[in-house]
């Protein structure tokens, strides 16, 4: 069930989620925000799963698709927080592109 593409995208999402936890805890502190930071990490993991299940074309269309999927997944989190963390929302778009690029480079021939 877990092909190479899905593994790469899930690992990429999980690692980028750790970067989000670090950035979020620097911006708002770790103590008292553990659930929020976990949800931020989980959002990036879900983004990785979604991109891993999607066909990523070579060239710019694949990167654009990754950015759009990142936007959609991050928008759900952003809206659920009352639109309080714009940086995390914008980072989600960039992370979607990064995950798509990693999938293209490491998982597809």
Sign of the torsion angle spanned by Cα atoms 11, 4, 61, 109: positive
pTM: 0.92
Q: Distance between CA 95 and CA 80 in Å, rounded?
A: 19
pLDDT of 72 above 70: yes
pLDDT digits (tens, 9 = 90+) for 20-56: 999 999 988 888 899 999 999 999 999 999 999 999 8
């Amino acid at each position: 069930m877990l092909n190479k593409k899905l593994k790469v995208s899930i690992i990429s999402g999980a690692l980028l989620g750790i970067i989000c936890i670090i950035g979020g805890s620097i911006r708002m502190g770790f103590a008292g925000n553990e659930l929020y930071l976990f949800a931020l990490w989980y959002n990036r993991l879900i983004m990785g799963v979604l991109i891993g299940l999607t066909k990523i074309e070579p060239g710019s269309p694949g990167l654009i698709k990754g950015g759009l999927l990142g936007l959609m997944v991050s928008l759900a989190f952003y809206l659920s927080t009352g639109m309080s963390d714009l940086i995390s929302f914008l980072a989600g778009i960039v992370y979607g592109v990064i995950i798509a690029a990693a999938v293209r480079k490491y998982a597809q021939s």
